[in-house]
Chain A
Amino acid sequence: MSSIDTGGDDGHKKGPGVKKAKKLSTRVDMTPMVDLGFLLITFFIFTATMSSPVGMDLNMPKDTDKPEEETEIKQSGALTIMLGKDNHVYYYEGQLTQENASTAFKSSSFDKIRDIIINKKKDVISSYRGNPACEQKARDKGKDPKAECIDEDFVVVIKPTAEATYKNTVDILDEMTINNVKRFAMVKISDTEKEMIAKTEGGQ
């Protein structure tokens, strides 16, 4: 009889005509799939972290014409920082008067301003002689009076000029966070200070 079966049936236990299925391995090479998987993971990790912007809280005081609502600061604890053009920073401690203008007004840079802030803060803290009003307030709120009030007098006044960039402004505000300056204010620059900056820049 003719048979279609061409498979070798020699030595086969099953009868002739029964097809012998060839055993194929079920193993698949998964390497390319894993490669692709990890490629996608890397991609998504990168995009996921990139798209979460962080923000800096900024609270501005309300404009006021009434002198009793204005915050008074002690001259001894005040540090005024001015932002000039080309990332220049100028500063003085206390008050700038006609007499001390040449000595008190100093030039600095963004690398050095941190040390100046830290030193001034240390100075203010070391000269703390007690502030009953503030300590009472802290006690009422249930906070440690000394920790709350020791740098109470330390105020940084930030005065950016028209040439300062937004980055400078954010950097200096960031410095406030970095050094835990509790009280700082952004104030419009005065004409005297503008002149001093112009003089310093011209003299360099």
Chain B
Amino acid sequence: MPSVKLPKKSTDTDMTPFVDIAFLILSFFIMATKFKPPEPVAVVTPGSVSSVIVKDENSMLITIDKDSKVYININAKKDQNKLTQIIEGINTSRSLGLSPAQIQNFKTTPIIGVPFGSLKTLLNLPADQQATVGQPGIPVLDSINNELIWWVSETKKAFAGEKLLYLIKGDNGSKYPTFEGVVNALRKNDEFKYNLVTSQEGPPEGTDEYKRRAAGGK
């Protein structure tokens, strides 16, 4: 009986195109990824259905941590001198008597969360220690002594004529009066538009928003 000999096929696949694509995607993601700077204060933000991406522009980030302490962080995209302007403004308006070295140090300070009285001590520390040192938070609860008003006012002055976003990033566990204090500080400066930083969630099924989005609404 004649036997049919099947040719032995190699199980080896040519992986080259596969690898090409893989590395193409890889390079895309490497380029598209922007690393977040390490956060000096850990904050778990609440979820919301809002899907407005917070743009990374000139912004004043007001952070409320889980112990209801308030921190600020000013992000000047182009002009680092704005930060110097702000601290000098604070220095004169609140007569803190900061030294030029301390003013210089403000530029690298990752986050500010101290009352004006302790600002000098904070600015004496090098930037890497400022992040780890326990900061008591900016006082906002007392409407007469709401120090955030001064910070907002100086920041607003420094960024006059430019776009400035006010971002409020609160922790799930922080209490409402602190948030109210922050809002009051902004309101005192005639600022009524803010962005609350949240993590994204889809709208629950069956609700009006869900229907609106399903219908193509943005």
Contact = CB atoms under 8 A, between A and B. Distances in A.
Contact of B53 (A41, A45, A52, A63): A52
Interface in A158-204: 160-171, 173-174, 177-180
Interface string A39-68: 011001101101111111111111100000
B26 A44 contact: yes
B188 to A, nearest CB: 9
Contacts of A62: 187, 190, 192
Interface in B22-41: 22-23, 25-26, 29-30, 32-36
Contacts of A83: 176
Contacts of A60: 183, 186-187, 192-194
B167 A160 contact: no
B204 A165 contact: no
Interface in B161-184: 167-168, 170-180, 183
Contacts, number: 162
B197 A55 contact: yes
B22 A178 contact: no
Interface string A80-101: 0001000000000000000000
Interface residues of A, number: 48
A180 B208 contact: yes
B51 interface: yes
B19 A37 contact: yes
Interface stretch (B42-50, B97-105, B151-159): B42-50
Residue of B16, B32, B167, B179 with most partner-chain A CB within 10 A: B179
A59 B176 contact: no
A30 interface: yes
B175 A163 contact: yes
Interface string B78-97: 00000000000000000000
B192 A177 contact: no
A106 interface: no
B193 A57 contact: yes
A51 B50 contact: no
B50 to A, nearest CB: 4
A114 B15 CA distance: 54
A31 B33 CA distance: 26
Nearest to A176: B209
Interface of B: 12, 15-16, 18-19, 22-23, 25-26, 29-30, 32-36, 45-54, 64, 167-168, 170-180, 183, 186-187, 190, 192-200, 203-204, 207-210, 212
Interface of A: 27, 30-31, 33-34, 37-38, 40-41, 44-45, 47-48, 50-63, 83, 114, 118, 160-171, 173-174, 177-180
